[in-house]
Amino acid sequence: MYSLYTPVCVSDDNGNTISKPSGIPRFLTKNNYGRRRSLSGYDPCASMYTSVYLNRPDVQRALHANVTGLRYPWTLCSVVITKWNDHPFSILPILRQLIAARLRIWDWTPWYTNNQQVGGWTVEYDGLTFVSVRGAGHAVPTFKPRQALQLFQHFFNNQTLPSQPF
């Protein structure tokens, strides 16, 4: 998973993954049981582990995946599909329909997490609201799962995001 905000997964000369940031003392990346733990709950090698796991034949059988026997491996971001013709040329007509339908929107404001931190910001442009999550990459649930859950819970419960620390 690519992110400007997090360390990258690297391998040593033997192909072992190294996800500990350099310069961090070893005791800070160990839990009480001696296993590695990542700082801030994010493991930059997670997508590599996922690719290895999801390409195992026993896992694919259990998930009823790759039933046609494709000869290329599953990847997180595949470049196999190069021709995508069923998408609209422009999404502007769709955006105009959403705005005309007067969908519920949030006013611009910072929003707060349940630990009194700024979770991100909301910005409205012509009736369409964009929500950002502070410190997240393009896959919010991967980088900020707690904030993602709070965002979805508030949206699906028709509640505005908290605009004050609580």
Predicted pLDDT at 21: 47
Query: CA-CA-CA-CA torsion for 79, 85, 89, 94, nearest 10 degrees?
Result: -100
Predicted pLDDT at 76: 79
Q: What is the pLDDT of residues 48-99, one digit of tens each?
A: 888 899 999 999 999 999 888 888 888 877 766 666 666 667 777 877 888 8
State both tokens at 136: 């997240």
Residue 69 has a CB neighbour count (10 Å cut-off) of: 6
- pTM tops 0.85: no
Predicted pLDDT at 37: 45
Predicted pLDDT at 4: 57
The Cα 9–Cα 11 span in angstroms is 7
Query: What sign has the CA pseudo-torsion 135, 136, 137, 143?
Result: positive
CB distance 1 to 8 below 8 Å = no
Domain map (residue ranges) of the chain: 1-85, 97-157
Residue 46: phi, psi to the nearest 5? -60, -40
The Cα 26–Cα 18 span in angstroms is 12
Confidence of residue 32 (pLDDT cuts 50, 70, 90): very low
Predicted pLDDT at 33: 43
Topology of the domain covering 97-157: Rossmann fold (3.40.50)
Residue 14 has a CB neighbour count (10 Å cut-off) of: 5
Predicted pLDDT at 135: 83
The Cα 142–Cα 147 span in angstroms is 10
The structure tokens 């026993």 sit at 58
Q: What is the pLDDT of residues 105-161, one digit of tens each?
A: 555 677 787 777 888 888 766 767 788 898 887 788 888 888 999 889 988 998 877
